[in-house]
């Protein structure tokens, strides 16, 4: 018997992460198929958090019959998708909302509020597959599973992502592979053409007290980056820092490790004590460490306690987030720089900040600053009480509150109609992912928080009821605006009779 894998997801640099909500195809072929009766190809799928899930995970089994060319084709994407999910709360006790308040079962907060870093819970998993023949060689003998198997050289990584309709998937010849995966990872050594797990523009707007997180791939398995580093496995994000600028682009401050005004020390380290892991070292413990979240919003920065007055340097118009390879600011940057322009609070409308799961399974954000209309819809249930007191010693006594039709309870549902400001083409294309996201929420700002942040619910899931949008193209739409309708997913009930 000779079972061969003839088609598989393409492994290698920057292409080892795969969208679990897209086809993940393997094809196998047995050269001695003509000698086998009642034959089926069997795929055992091992999914887990350890780098080699075959050593501990219980496999999921798929069986298919050979097609007319004798090939067995498996799509494991739908199975993989059930093992990954969005991140709503931090993972790991090192994640904090305040310096003295690490995340634990007694002190919970949303992933959006982290000070520095958080690991992922179910955002990434390792997947390994093994292929077997299931057959018999004689009529009357039940088929059985052969003990020999074919297995790819290395596992793949799955993330909670999907492909857009416009994405292309290159299919090579029959003896090669499918080109897939998310082409995003830290490049190191000054490679700044790649970025975080988002299609967001490198320049965004944010309020003075609003949350934002980025998702990044952490230090990878040693075989993935060895080719780029000459065998030195130090790829990944060592840490991050912030630089603050005035409206003329002049730097006001560099904020490393809580030392405002000091421009030559270090960065916020991607370390266990800060909620991350490994400071970018290539070897990781498990899949929880390979995808991490970083707090980069204005409110996240203020939670760090690094700013001397709890506010940004005087005259700050924007700040930039820098991801570095080593522990000093002069070290090579491993990602694009991301700029956050500060919104003023003098606009006539209240800011509403939405967040949603993007196509990479990470969170994206946008602050609506224009007119927003809040509507409260009520739904009433009625009943007809008896017309009086039937337990009276004097016979039936009519009471003023009895009789007629009365309200049993009232359910209130709040809806919001939000309008964007005029958008750039990049912002409009980025915002399209909001309309197709299955998870949308409102992030309330950080203003007036208590010392430990326990008394405020910052995150609330909502329903996006806008089902259609027009894709705007710059050639025929110079000014782009969107209107979004959302409905609070939690209703309010009044007193029940």
* Dihedral angle sign, alpha carbons of residues 451, 456, 461, 463: negative
Angle at 360 between CA 358 and CA 361, to 5 degrees: 70
Q: Are strands 338-342 and 203-206 parallel, antiparallel or unpaired?
A: parallel
Q: Which residues contact 346 (CB under 8 A, 6 or more apart)?
A: none
Burial class (CB in 10 A: 0-12, 13-18, 19+), 50: middle
User: What is the pLDDT at residue 459?
Assistant: 81
At the top level of CATH, the class of 3-87+124-159 is: mainly beta
Residue intervals in the chain for CATH 2.60.40 = 3-87+124-159
Check: CB of residue 331 under 8 Å from CB of residue 306. Answer: no
* pTM of the predicted protein model: 0.81
Check: CB of residue 158 under 8 Å from CB of residue 84. Answer: yes
Per-residue pLDDT of the chain (497 residues; tens, 9 = 90+): 689 999 887 643 345 678 888 888 899 999 989 889 999 999 999 999 988 899 999 999 999 999 999 999 999 989 999 999 999 999 988 888 877 777 777 777 889 989 899 999 999 999 999 999 999 999 889 999 999 999 988 788 888 988 765 554 544 333 333 334 444 444 444 444 567 888 888 899 898 888 999 998 876 543 333 333 333 334 567 788 888 888 888 888 666 544 444 344 457 888 888 898 876 555 567 889 888 999 999 888 887 765 544 567 788 899 999 887 655 555 667 778 899 999 876 666 677 888 999 988 999 998 888 666 666 666 677 777 777 777 777 777 676 666 667 776 676 676 777 777 767 777 777 888 888 888 888 887 765 445 444 545 678 788 777 665 655 555 555 556 667 776 765 555 555 55
Closest of 10, 13, 430 to residue 183, by C-alpha: 13
User: What is the pLDDT at residue 225?
Assistant: 38
Distances (CA, A) of 120 to 53, 87, 277, 293, 349: 18, 7, 11, 7, 35
Rg (CA), the chain: 28
SS (H, E, C) the chain: CCEEEEECECCCCCCCEEECCCCCEEEEEECCHHHCEEEEEEEEEEEECCCCHHHCCCCEEEEECCCCCCEEEEECHHHHHCCCCCCCCCECCCCEEECCEECECCECCCHHHCCCEEECCCCEEEEEEEEEEEEECCCCCCCEECCCCECCCCCEEEECCCCCCCCCCCECCCCCCECCCCCCCCCCCCCCCCCCCCCCCCEEEECCCCCCEEEEECCCCHHHHHHHHCCCCCCCCCEEEEEEECCCCCEEEEECCCCCCCCCCCCEECCHHHCCCHHHCCCCCCHHHHEEEEECCHHHHHHCCCCCCCCCCCCCCEEEEEEECCCCCCCCECCCCEEEEECCCCCCCCCEEEEEECCCCCEEEEEECCCEEEEEEEEEEEECCCCEECCCCCCCEECCCCCCCEEEEEEEEEEEEEECCCECHHHHHHHHHHHHCCCEEEECCCCCCCCCCCCCCCEEEEEECCCCCCCCCCCCCCCECCEEEEEECCCEECCCC
User: What is the pLDDT at residue 196?
Assistant: 83
């Amino acid at each position: 018997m000779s079972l061969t894998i003839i088609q598989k997801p393409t492994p290698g640099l920057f292409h080892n992460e795969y969208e679990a909500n897209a086809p993940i195809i393997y094809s196998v072929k047995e050269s001695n198929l003509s000698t086998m009766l009642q034959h089926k190809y069997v795929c055992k799928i091992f999914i887990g958090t350890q780098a080699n899930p075959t050593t501990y995970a219980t496999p999921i089994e798929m069986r298919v019959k050979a097609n007319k060319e004798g090939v067995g084709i498996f799509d494991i994407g739908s199975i993989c998708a059930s093992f990954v999910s969005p991140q709503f709360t931090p993972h790991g006790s090192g994640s904090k909302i305040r310096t003295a308040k690490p995340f634990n079962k007694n002190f919970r907060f949303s992933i959006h509020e982290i000070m520095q870093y958080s690991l992922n819970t179910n955002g990434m998993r390792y997947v390994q597959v093994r292929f077997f023949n299931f057959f018999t060689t004689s009529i009357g003998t039940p088929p059985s599973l052969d003990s020999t198997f074919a297995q790819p050289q290395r596992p793949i990584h799955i993330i909670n992502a999907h492909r857009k309709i416009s994405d292309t998937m290159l299919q090579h010849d029959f003896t090669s592979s499918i080109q897939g995966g998310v082409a995003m990872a830290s490049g190191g050594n000054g490679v700044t053409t790649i970025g975080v797990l988002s299609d967001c523009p490198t320049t965004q707007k944010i309020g003075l007290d609003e949350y934002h997180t980025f998702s990044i791939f952490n230090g990878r398995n040693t075989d993935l980056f060895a080719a780029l580093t000459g065998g030195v496995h130090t790829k990944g994000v060592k840490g991050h820092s912030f630089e603050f600028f005035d409206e003329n682009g002049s730097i006001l401050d560099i904020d490393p490790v809580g030392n405002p005004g000091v421009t030559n020390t270090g960065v916020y380290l991607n370390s266990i004590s800060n909620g991350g892991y490994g400071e970018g070292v290539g070897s990781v413990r498990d899949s929880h460490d390979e995808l991490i979240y970083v707090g980069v919003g204005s409110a996240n920065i203020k939670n760090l306690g690094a700013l001397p007055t709890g506010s940004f340097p005087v005259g700050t118009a924007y700040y930039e987030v820098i991801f570095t390879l080593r522990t000093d600011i002069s070290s090579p940057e491993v990602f694009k720089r991301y700029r956050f322009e500060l919104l003023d609070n003098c606009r006539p409308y209240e800011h509403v900040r939405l967040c949603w799961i993007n196509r990479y399974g990470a969170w994206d954000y946008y602050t609506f600053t224009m007119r927003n209309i809040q509507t409260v819809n009520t739904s009433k249930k009625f009943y007809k009480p008896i017309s009086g007191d039937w337990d009276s010693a004097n016979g039936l006594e009519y009471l003023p509150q009895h009789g007629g039709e009365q309200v049993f309870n009232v359910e209130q549902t709040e809806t919001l109609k939000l309008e964007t400001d005029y958008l750039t083409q990049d912002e409009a294309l980025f915002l399209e992912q909001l309309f197709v996201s299955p998870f949308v929420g409102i992030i309330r700002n950080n203003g007036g928080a208590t010392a430990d942040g326990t008394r405020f619910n910052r995150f609330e899931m909502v329903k996006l009821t806008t089902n259609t949008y027009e894709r705007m193209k710059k050639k025929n739409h110079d000014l782009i605006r969107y209107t979004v309708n959302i409905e609070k997913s939690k209703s309010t009930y009044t007193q029940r009779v």
